Structure 1
């Protein structure tokens, strides 16, 4: 018997070998692709300057606020303003029952006039005694007696004038006027009630609303810049009013010591407030302009945020990246003033989100992205033509 052997049995083996070769190719391509450096853009850390602008939350306070209290116990005779009214400096607020004090003032005035008249009579008598003594009609002892009477009456007149002044002061206490211009609060007494010097509540509270001050805290690290700016000129600040407008002011007070518990400095700024939009107790944001600060500057985009600290990827001579911790002192207009790295260092600007320390990088050029897109299109066209030929 003759057997007819067909060559088709060899075909499956050939296909298996071909498939095995095809399976190894992607692995090699993957490894080769994994070794490729990451395309990035870089920037050099340079010396520069940024606006030194600070922002803090503060509270509006009245520069002056006093409790109006009586200086003597008397009945309220009249109230000459309304609650919440704006009053002028020296404006009459309360009058107290002054009948007793007016009587005492009149008595003191009369006593002063009586003593003054007695003194004038004693001075005339002394003058006559001196003339008679020079003419040898009276003894010198009579002149001494007349002189003693004059001296006594002069002392009594001084005492009477002092009593009269005291009575006038007490009488002035029956008229209570505003010590400065401001806004009145709640009135705690009524006409006819008794005003007491040791009362638990004041008659009214008067608060100055123009100007006002805003009190806020600054970190202690900003103290050198604040002192330097204050030596050059008044430190100007601005705040936002409730209606959205900006209002300018200036720093008028810096505390003499740093708060140890918070590490902050107490600062006060004064603002004109003619429209009374800055109300005592209001919370507001204060912005300070301390000029410009020099240091190391780079785009804020280059700074990465890690789980514990901020850092940048510095590129070394082997085109590998190293994570360098940095501290941002301040930022403005997309730029950051930093510490923790040397001037002239090259760091990753774009493409750092997929990097790890030690990774190789390659700086992209202007045409890299276009070339990449063209190459991808060419590969796609070649693959399509191959598929059509098959």
Structure 2
């Protein structure tokens, strides 16, 4: 067989295959349009509807159950209305709790412990003595300073009584000596007081790990005191909430150790920068604890509510894709139009999109394969009784 005959046969087979593909493959017209072919050529190769029902025969003279909008009757589709949904209206995060004030009490000086006056878990008040160091040396120093002061005071009185025979320099020396003695006494009394180890503020004492007789230094931990009248909870929020969180904003928290109980508080502080590794922002909430139900170190489930962003919500079946991105078909009157959409959030039962849609717009969910922009459609509710019985 000559070459030119083989080429003609091959061209005929390819043409027939293309026509069959365009007639029977759903969405062939969209693919040809995306390829940039003219509408007339697309209509010739892959018409949106061929006017035949399943099996290739006309159905009661009305055409098939699925028709395209180019040529033939209107396409039969199912629709669902657009709803509106809110996203970014709630934030859930895990946080760690700390007492509003925590201090590790250490001595002002070194020495041996003579008394430990509190027990682990005991509540103390501000200024309460919790332990004492040996103070014999400091007591003697204080007594000596007190005697020196009394001596300086008596000397000043004698000088004042003999002022007529004493020089001004002697009077000033006596006054200076008295002031120095008073300062020495104050210093000795301060050193004596500092042998008592006191609580800087009220709170609950943690586990005490020292005992009477232990030698301690200024770096030795005597006790840890937590003021848990309020609990601070540190948690991290995603970057997208950074502009929504405000100091003073309300938060609710649930402690893992106390399920079913909800505690309320406010945002006390917000960090000044986003963590670049986790892309999160550190936030600190303050929760009142008047009944002392919460402990430092607890983990919390923190919830915050915001106004949120309102987006159209469509059925997941309605979203289609092409080379230009995602889109949906909207029924307007008796025809359909193609509306490009940007997917914001995908859920099992709905998809939130950013698009030019209004609440209540009818969106095609079934019968999508044969639709074209401007094509005529009819919904299942508009189907005639004859077609319903035939189908």
User: How high is the TM-score relative to the length of structure 2?
Assistant: 0.69
Tell me which residue corresponds to 1:388: none
Aligned with 2:259 (options 240, 243, 247)? 243
- Residue by residue over 1:13-48, the C-alpha shift from the partner in whole angstroms, topping out at 9 and shown as x without a partner, is xxxxxxxxxxx9852159934534431113277xx9
Question: Which one has the largest radius of gyration?
Answer: 1
Tell me which residue corresponds to 1:39: 78
Q: Which has the higher helix share?
A: 1
In the alignment, structure 1 segments of 5+ residues that lack a partner are: 1-23, 130-142, 381-390
1:325 equivalent in alignment to 2:315: no
- 2:96 and 2:376 map into 1 onto residues whose CA distance is 51
| 3-state DSSP of counterpart to 1:209 | strand
Aligned with 2:56 (options 28, 32, 52)? 28
| 3-state DSSP of counterpart to 1:101 | helix
Q: CA deviation at 1:348?
A: 6.1
- Residue by residue over 1:294-319, the C-alpha shift from the partner in whole angstroms, topping out at 9 and shown as x without a partner, is x5433475698999xx9662527651
Aligned with 1:64 (options 98, 101, 106)? 101
- 1:118 and 1:303 map into 2 onto residues whose CA distance is 105
- 1:92 and 1:303 map into 2 onto residues whose CA distance is 73
Tell me which residue corresponds to 1:315: 330
Contact 2:99 2:232 in 1 (8 A): yes
Alignment of 1:72-221 (within 5 A): 72-126=109-163, 128-129=164-165, 146-199=167-220, 202-221=221-240
Tell me which residue corresponds to 1:225: 244
The number of equivalent residue pairs is 319
- 1:93 and 1:255 map into 2 onto residues whose CA distance is 36
Q: 1:38 to 1:335 in 2, by over 3 A?
A: closer
Contact 2:340 2:355 in 1 (8 A): no
Contact 1:314 1:346 in 2 (8 A): no
Q: 1:112 to 1:173 in 2, by over 3 A?
A: same
Contact 1:302 1:312 in 2 (8 A): no
User: How high is the TM-score relative to the length of structure 1?
Assistant: 0.69
Contact 1:40 1:363 in 2 (8 A): no
- Residue by residue over 1:182-232, the C-alpha shift from the partner in whole angstroms, topping out at 9 and shown as x without a partner, is 222221211122122244xx11211222211111112232232224xx5xx
Aligned with 2:270 (options 232, 249, 254)? 254
- 2:155 and 2:193 map into 1 onto residues whose CA distance is 29
Tell me which residue corresponds to 2:295: 279
- 2:378 and 2:294 map into 1 onto residues whose CA distance is 54
Q: 1:172 to 1:357 in 2, by over 3 A?
A: farther
- 2:328 and 2:244 map into 1 onto residues whose CA distance is 30
Q: CA deviation at 1:57?
A: 1.7
Q: Note the aligned Cα RMSD (angstroms).
A: 3.9
Q: CA deviation at 1:260?
A: 2.4
Q: CA deviation at 1:104?
A: 0.9
- Residue by residue over 1:70-116, the C-alpha shift from the partner in whole angstroms, topping out at 9 and shown as x without a partner, is 11112111111111222222222111111111111111111111111
- 2:79 and 2:371 map into 1 onto residues whose CA distance is 14
- 1:356 and 1:116 map into 2 onto residues whose CA distance is 110
Q: CA deviation at 1:362?
A: 5.0
- 2:369 and 2:131 map into 1 onto residues whose CA distance is 78
Q: 1:252 to 1:29 in 2, by over 3 A?
A: farther
- 1:272 and 1:361 map into 2 onto residues whose CA distance is 64
Alignment of 1:47-58 (within 5 A): 52-58=89-95
